[in-house]
Structure formats: C-alpha cells, structure tokens
Structure 1
Amino acid sequence: MKNLLQWKNICLEVPYRNSYKQILHNLSGEVSSGNMMALMGSSGSGKTSFLKILSGRIPKKYLTSGEIKFNKERRNLSFVNITSFLEQEHFYSEYYDVISYLKFTMGCFGNDDDLELDKLLIKLHLEKVRFTKLAKLSGGEKKRVIVANELLSKKSILFLDEPTTGLDSHLALELIIFLYEITKERNLIVILSIHQPSTTILRFFDIFTFIDNGKFIYHGKMKRCQEYFEEKGMITPSEITFPEFIFELTAERSSFEGINSMKLIYNKLVPKDAEK
C-alpha cells in the first residue's frame, strides 16, 4: 500500500511578547511512501517548526491553521503512533552502552530481530562501538546511534531534524545513502531538514523543498529544481554549486555581483499570500 502525506495552507503563530508572531505562511505540499524529501533553508527559516507541526509535535500554546491529511483522511491522534521524530538535541541515558540502548528500544516496540540490528550497526559504522557507553561516543557516533534507534521503532514516517549535523562529509553522504536505501526498501516516507548539503547528497532526494522566512520557495521533484530556477532567469554561476547559489539568493547581499541582480527575480517567487 502506498501511503500519502498531504498538507495545505499550513500556518503557525508562536507567542511573541504580549501577542503572537507568524513564522510559517500557507505551506502546501505532499510526499508519498518510497520517497525521501529534503527540507532546506538557512537557520531560522522555519525548518524545525515545519517538521514539528507536520509530525503533530507542536506545543498547544502555539496557534495553527491549515489541513494535514494522511491517506486522504484528516490526521488524527493515532498519527503520532506511526511516526518517529529525530530532534537535533536528543535526550537519553548516557549510562547505556550502544547495544543495550538499541535493544531497549526494540523491546518497547516488540522487535526481536537481532539480524536487523547487526545490519544497522554495520551500515552505520557502529559495530566497533556496540559495547561502548553512549557518554564516550563522539558527536557523530551519537547521531548515528539515534538514527538507528528511530529505525528500529518500525514507523512508517520518519522526521529527522538535521541528522547530518556533526558528521564529516564522508559520513554525511553515507548516512544519506543509507536513508535513501532504507526508504526504498521499507517503502517509508522520510522527511529531513538539512542546512547546506553538497550537490552529491542532494541527488539522493526524490522531493526537494526550499523554505525561506517561513515560506516555500520551491516544493517538488529534486531533479526539476535547478531547471525551475533557470527557467525563472536565475542561472547558477560556474564558481559555486546550486545549493550554495540558493543560499546566496537569500542573503542580504551576495559576494557575487551577478547574483545580486537576480534577487528581484527571486523575491517574485515568494507567494503573494505568504508575504509579511
């Protein structure tokens, strides 16, 4: 069965001084199972807030509007039972060793597949630290343990908030390739935020979403994204990569003079009903 997650006109307001401040503006889109979606944007662009509202993990004091559907039905309270959310800051007992921590999760979800666990440890380069206390792991190793932990919960939808943070370029690429493969293998929906990926990493995403100041600038097929910008008259300079180019467009002033002249075109991409 192919699952489908859809959202329409999602808005979010957070408490600000004595009132509320809108930080997400009329976001719409969809992603189906077997697809991995990249959510890219600068710090403070709304990536984490969007992941939290989509996964049903937003604080009650926040004001939300819009519609979220799973398989054409409005999302209900049971939705959280089929989703897993990996936050940037994950809390756990550092007195566990890796294998005990992961086996505890497996027990909670009735998963006794030790072969699957061994495969995950190998794929994520954790087999040599399986008996190491979490407190003694490097930042990158801890991040990979948490990813393994989320996968062992056997959920249908995975939300990951910047899982490549703290990893070097080689390990970041390996993690993305692994997530891509398991997305296809298990027919999952995987949505992850990523700050500034390499062009190589971006090739492993099916869906690409660029968010700027709480607004979607692009949401669609990854292979179509650069072409979309080029059709609008925004050509990536030869000196930089496409991901770098998009971030330069969002900067107040780019170091590349040619990009500054494209900002007027870029600003027109902002949906009229999403302007402040």
Structure 2
Amino acid sequence: MADEEASAAVFSSSKKLEDVSPRVFLETVEVGYAIIKGAKVLDHVSTAFAPGEACAVMGPSGAGKTTLLNALACRVKGIEGRVLANGVAISTPMEFAAWGTVAPQDDVVLPNLTVGELLFYARKLRGGKQSVEALLSTFELAERKDVKSKFLSGGQKKRLSICLELAHRPSVLFCDEPTSGLDSRVALSVVSTLSTLAHQTKTNVVATVHQPSLECFLLFDRVLILAAGKVAYSGTVERAVDEFSDDDEGQKFGCKNPADLAIDAVSKGQGLIPGILTALFVPLERSTLVRECFNGVWRLKEYLLARTVVSAVVHVAGCTVFSLFFYYMIDLKGEFWKFVSPLYFLGIITQQLGLILGSVFGTATTSVPAFLPLNISAVMCAGFFFTIHDLTKSIQKVLYPFWYLSWYRYVYAILLTNEFQFGTFDACDSVCPYDSYAPNQVPNVNRDVIIRDYLDIDVYQAKHYYVFYLLLFILSFYTIMFLLVKHKALKP
C-alpha cells in the first residue's frame, strides 16, 4: 500500500524533465587501447563531448566505437592516455557512475513488470531525482505505463531501456547502438528523443550509430567518425558534409546522405586485410541469405561462388596495382607474373578463411577476433621468422603439421625462388649467416645452397609443385566453407 501511494506521488509530479547537475564536459587525451600487443583498437583518440549536445559516434564495423564508450566509462583496463571530466582525470567505473550512465545495445528489462513499475523501482533503487511522469511523457510511454514490458514493441523497449538509465538524472548518457534493429520511423523517434533530452536538460548525450538515415543524422549536433581506431573526423554535422564530399563544391544535404559519404570515405582508407573483411560477410548477410535461399531466389553455391569471385576480383585489382609500384620501386629481378601470381592465391585463401570463420562463429564480434590468431599462426610458420630446423626436436614434432599447413610458407618459397633463380650470392665476412653453409665457395655462394640449406626451401618443389598446393588450399577451403554455410549458417 505504501509503495502504491509513493508511486502515485511520483506520477503526479511535473511532466518537464529537470536540468542535470552538474553539467559535465568530457575529454579524451591520446586515448589508446590494445587487445593484444601491436593490435590497437583505439589509437591516440583525442576528442571532446559537451553538455547540452547530442554526439553521434560513427565508423565501419570494428572501428572502435563501442570500445571508446567503454573507455570513457572506465569499464576497460589497460587504457592509455587520459579521460577528463570537467578537467579532472577519471579512471574507475565508480568515478564515472557518480554522474554518468550507459544504455546497452540489448534491451535488458524484467518482462513481468509494467513500464511504470520498472521506472518507479529504478528511481528508488538508484536514488533517482528525475520525475517518472516526465520521463514517460518525453519518451512517449505514458500510454504504456500499465503495460508489462514483455508486451512492448521493439521501439518501445528501446525507449524504455534508455528511460531506465535516466531515472537518477545522470549528467552523461552513453547509448550503444540505440537504433539497432529498429525501422527508420522508430529509429528517427528514438534519436529525436535523445536530441530533445540533450537540448532541454543539458545532458551530455553520446550515441554510437551505424550509418543512420539522413533525418537521424541531422538531429545530432556533432559527429565523431572513427576508422581503424583513429579519429577520422570530429566536429559539427554541417562541416562533416564538406569534409566528406565527392567534389570541391560539397554535397547538399538533399542530394546524398552525409553519413554515407563519411562512412564510405573512412572505409576506403583502412589497411584491413581481405580475410577480416570476408569474416564479416556471413554474419552481416546471414538473414538475407537465409530468406532468399529458402525462398528459392538463389542457390547456396551460386551465392558463395559470386561472393568469392567478386572478392577475388577486387583483391586481384588491388594486388596488381600494389605490385606494379612495389616490384619496380625496389628493383626486383625475378619475373613479374611469378611475383604477383602467388599474391593472388594468398588473397583468395585468406578470403575463404574469413568466410569459414564467419560461418563457424556467426557474429562479427567473434569471427574477426578468431581470424587474427589463425592468420598470425600461419604467418609465423611461413619460414620468414625461423625455419623448422631452428627449433628443438620436441617443438618440431608439435609444429610440423602447422609448418606444412601454412599457405604463407608456399607463397614465401615461390617468391624467393623466383627472385633468386639466377646467379649467386656474394660471400662476405663472418657476420653473413649463410657463410657456414658454404665455406669453400668464396667469393661466391651458389644460390641453391642458400635457399635449400639456409632458408630450408626445396627449390624444385617450389618451382614445380607449390602452385598446385595453393590451388589445393583454395579447393579445400571452398569445400569446407560450402559445407559450413549449408549446415550451420543457413539454419533458420
């Protein structure tokens, strides 16, 4: 009875949201974060977020958007640089929680409580100062006050999830993908509410969004665009149009979505390898693939063949342009087509590995991280860093399968035999590592001695059979990819 009376008192309060206090100005100074050594998710990010503004954090998949929010909320350890709130450094989750909150991407609400009950208890448990009735009115949930949350639509659940985080009147609100899974009309409503919240209450609102519609994009005051963990743009929405225009005069808002221009521009500038990109294909296209395959629009082998061919064509074009510059720039002596063709095979194999992992794990957040250790392991067993004979007998037994399963090893061997197919090496003083393999061949050392004994490469095999081994990798990976997509990824 007491709870009902208290709830009634709360609902009878003002419908206007109160201004936040204190107003918090956030800054990041050279913030960096790496999951593993040398692989930075955030790389020297310096930017600012002001109270009373709604800022969109944008970028391609894997650009570091969610990681930046977690870094600002002090939820990850090992952060480089500083996070400042009104000029004071913060470093713990408790320091951030004193005046800030994070609305997660998933709408986590208790299904059997009504909207009013959830807000009432959220306000009580968190020492809330904001009017529940005002929150319901602002987020267009007043008519759903007595409805259990499990009966709400997707857009209503999204608004309720954000609403619950505002019950204690935080000065900073982080929203991770608040428009995810919503249609354009509902997404526009959510973003409009966030913009109104920032302007009316001076809340510092920061939201990660992935290529919003033009109407949603224009509702934000500022935009931060990340590319491979670095700041590609930070400034007003209006100035973003000029920064990412396709021509000198700039694109008009009515002609092309500036959000699309921005994402396209920063995506073109990333050093992402083919395998990481293809690891995203199946997770991102799975729903479309399932629908159209089951509706008989296309068969699976047609989709996979088309995806492989298109990806391969793009890679071949980029690899050719790269080789034309690189090959002649460093004055290589081997045959050009024997230099570039192994690189074609390498790209196609890594692309297929990405498709395999995308089929196994099913989500972009797990398939991309899974690709890195596998690819790095294959690189380490290529023979560039060490040969199998450099290792102890016990380690050799463990690494032998990986040594011969590394497609990089065969590419590396073909490139070396092509470059050194003619001539000899000049002998030098005792610091030359290969002198010990041919002490009686001074002043010149035969090429086969170096490649065979020092680099542990079978010249005959590399010249005549390794290309077929690479083709076997391609056929094997394609078969594995087909079976995985058919029996795992296509399960409705």
Q: Same fold (TM over 0.5)?
A: yes
Whether the 8 Å contact between 1:208 and 1:221 is mirrored in structure 2 is yes
**Distance in 1 (alpha carbons) for counterparts of 2:141 and 2:249:** 42
Residue 96 of structure 1, CA deviation: 1.7
Matched, 1:123 2:130: no
State the AA in 1 paired with 2:121: F
In structure 2, relative to structure 1, the CA distance for the partners of 1:23 and 1:5 (3 Å cut) is same
Is this contact kept in 1: 2:23–2:171, CA < 8 A? no
1:97 aligns with 2:114: yes
Q: Rg: which structure is higher?
A: 2
Q: Residue 195 and residue 95 in structure 1: after superposition, are their counterparts in 2 closer, same or farther (change >3 A)?
A: same
- Please tell me the residue identity of whatever aligns with 2:49: V
Deviation at 1:183, TM superposition (A): 1.1
The counterpart of 1:22, out of the listed 40, 44, 48, is 40
Structure 1 residue 250: deviation in Å? 4.1
Separation in structure 1 between the aligned mates of residue 33 and residue 249 of structure 2, nearest angstrom: 30
1:202 aligns with 2:211: no
The DSSP-based 3-state class of the residue aligned with 2:79 is strand
Flag the 1:193–1:234 CA change in 2: closer, same or farther, 3 A. farther
TM-score (norm 2): 0.46
Higher strand content, 1 or 2: 1
Kept after mapping to 1: 8 A contact 2:64/2:228: yes
The equivalent position to 2:105 in structure 1, one of 47, 68, 88, is 88
Give the one of 229, 249, 261 matched to 2:265.
249
SS at match of 2:116: helix
Gaps of 5+ in 2: 1-21, 270-492
Query: Would the alpha carbon gap of residues 251 and 236 (structure 1) be closer, same or farther in structure 2, given more than 3 Å must change?
Result: farther
**Does residue 1:180 correspond to 2:195, yes or no?**
yes
Judge conservation of contact 2:244–2:262 (CA < 8 Å) in 1.
Answer: no
Q: CA separation in 1, counterparts of 2:69 and 2:129?
A: 30
Determine the structure 2 residue equivalent to 1:12: 33
TM-superposed deviation, 1:176: 1.8
Number of residue-to-residue matches in the alignment:
245
Q: Does 1 or 2 have the higher relative contact order (CA < 8 Å, sep 6+)? A: 1
Contact 1:236–1:245 (CA<8 Å) still a contact in 2?
no
Larger helix fraction of residues = 2
Query: Which residue is equivalent to 1:43?
Result: 61
Q: 1:215 to 1:140 in 2, by over 3 A?
A: same
d(CA) in 2 for partners of 1:92, 1:20: 38
- 8 Å contact from structure 2 (residues 173, 203) kept in 1: yes
Q: Tell me how large the CA RMSD over aligned residues is.
A: 2.5
Q: How far is the alpha carbon of 1:232 from its aligned partner?
A: 8.8
Contact kept? 1:56, 1:80, Cα under 8 Å: no
Q: Give the share of equivalent positions with the same residue, in percent.
A: 26
Residues in 2 aligned to 1:33 and 1:112: alpha-carbon distance in whole angstroms: 19
Determine if the alignment matches structure 1 residue 111 to structure 2 residue 128: yes
From 26, 31, 37, the counterpart of 2:49? 31
User: Given that residues 86 and 161 in structure 1 are in contact (C-alpha distance below 8 angstroms), is that contact kept between their aligned partners in structure 2?
Assistant: yes
Structure 1 residue 112: Cα displacement: 6.6
Give the match for residue 3 of structure 1: 24
Greater shift after overlay, 167-176 or 234-243? Answer: 234-243
Deviation at 1:230, TM superposition (A): 4.2
Q: Are 1:240 and 2:261 an aligned pair?
A: no
Which of the residues 157, 168, 171 maps onto 1:142? 157
Q: Secondary structure at the match of 2:128?
A: coil
Secondary structure of residue in 1 paired with 2:231: strand
With structure 1 as the length reference, what TM-score do the two structures score? 0.79
Give the 3 Å change call, closer, same or farther, for CA 10–123 of structure 1 in structure 2.
same
Taking the aligned partners of 2:259 and 2:115, their CA distance within structure 1 comes to 35
The residue number in structure 2 matching 1:256 is none
Structure 1: gaps (5+ residues): 254-276
What aligned pairs does 1:209-248 form with structure 2 within 5 A after superposition? 209-230=224-245, 235-236=250-251, 240-248=256-264
**CA 1:182/1:129 → structure 2, altered by over 3 Å: closer, same or farther?**
same
Once residues 232 and 8 of structure 1 are traced to their aligned partners in structure 2, the CA distance between those partners, rounded to angstroms, is: 33
